[in-house]
Amino acid sequence: MGAGKSTVGAEVAHLTGRPFVDLDVEIERVHGSIPELFERGEPEFRRLEEEMLAEVLSGEPAVVALGGGAVLSPRNREGLRARAFTVHLDVDVETAWARVSGSDRPLAQHERGFRRLYDERRPVYAETSDAVAGDVDGVLLAAGGIHVERGALARLHELVPGEGQIALVADGRVLELHRPGLGARLVSTHTVPSGEEAKELGVVARLWEELSLDRSGILVALGGGATTDVAGFVAATYLRGIAWVAVPTTLVGQVDAAIGGKTAVNLAKGKNLAGAFHLPELVVADPEVLATLPEAERRAGMAEVVKTGLLASRELWREEDEAIVRGCAAFKAAVVLSDPTEQGRRAILNLGHTFAHALEAGAGYGAVGHGDAVAAGLTAALRLSEQHLGLDPAVRAEVERVLDPKLVHADHEAAWAALQRDKKAKEGRARLVLLEEPGKPIWGYELPESEVRSALDSLIA
């Protein structure tokens, strides 16, 4: 009681696009007020609570706020184990009591009894929950399998799930700077080139040949977004799929690229055209490693941070590194949970990227930084949003202040051809993500070809 389950649950439901069910509210809607039900005896209330939870768990995916005593029932605990990911929203007893004292809650009429219940229930919460969190971001990170912690790299052996052998796939340059603590389970280490060179089919073929894991093994990917892309793709296809853990070491990777299970390699005709959806067992983001990032890599990451902030309507770019990573990763986890295989809403994460990917192709992969391309692409998307959706120009002004986008040296025709081949395009027509206002993206937006091409050309020096 008083942990904030109803408030946090409603926000988690909103961000993940799922219905929200407050179990106590549903019980009252069907059976009358909880104080009146308790007058008939707590056992009768608990029976109704069991029936209602069983009904909810058998229905469509939802976010459910349980009553504080619901997990005391063995039947409820069994249902949660079978059908739910259960988070203990932790709160200290003083805060909880301050929130519920003076209310009509039957079990919160006397402080001594409330504190006794608090102590009695904590072991049951620990036994029942899959994770512990203190806020909305914490719930989303837990549900998305994302662990954000300073110093996590050193104790990676404690975090990697399972007991099987570990193969490490790492960016060679990153491995010189950061040694993950993987312990005795590590049986092999495989290096890949930095950047987009890692995402070539030749690298994939080499890794397939070098790996010696069986299906109980787990692949750990250490590096930036390109490393996690190729390692995840290898994990998805080696022995028809083995488990893997992503350990992103760049800002781009920690806030975006390593989250969501999209793995891919590049083909001659385009970026990320061969891939698979293969969710990692865990994403471990250690903000401490960001201290060694070159400025260009940090700038690339900030472009993704700004994009996420616009989608979430949070000025995340003003935060410190750990808060940036937590906020961005939590938002992306929410979007992925709402649309795991990109059939709809997940497309919003492409804000600015339709143009960015075209610029990268037009410049020849590697000739222009991903962050520079995204920064430029965001300005084009926001300018079109002003013209067609009435977006406040102050939004673009703030983005340009933070990212300082530059014109890109690229071939106009090659960039345009790449934009028409974009994975979100339909019969050669670009489908854009635009912004009505921060927090209100529109996806699948089509504009006349001449207007889209003009916007792309305006980004090229």
Could you give the residue numbers annotated as active site? 240, 262, 304, 332, 342, 346, 350, 353, 357, 370
Pairing of strands 432-437, 440-445: antiparallel
Provide CB contacts within 8 A for 437, sequence distance 6+.
Answer: 313, 391, 392, 395
CA 134 to chain centre: 17
Q: Give the pair of three-digit tokens for residue 308.
A: 């996420």
Cβ count within 10 A of residue 87 = 21
Residue 286 CA to residue 226 CA, distance in Å, equals: 18
Sort 82 into a burial class: Cβ within 10 Å, 0-12 / 13-18 / 19+: exposed
The Cα-based distances of 441 to 311, 389, 423, 437 in angstroms read: 6, 10, 19, 7
Adjacent-strand bridge partners of 189: 168
Spatial CA neighbour of 140 closest among 291, 326, 323: 326
Residue 172 CA to residue 301 CA, distance in Å, equals: 20
CA 70 to chain centre: 29
* Cβ(329)–Cβ(285) below 8 Å: yes
* Cβ(3)–Cβ(69) below 8 Å: no
Q: Give the pair of three-digit tokens for residue 31.
A: 């059976």
Residue 206 CA to residue 335 CA, distance in Å, equals: 34
Q: Give the pair of three-digit tokens for residue 327.
A: 């906020």
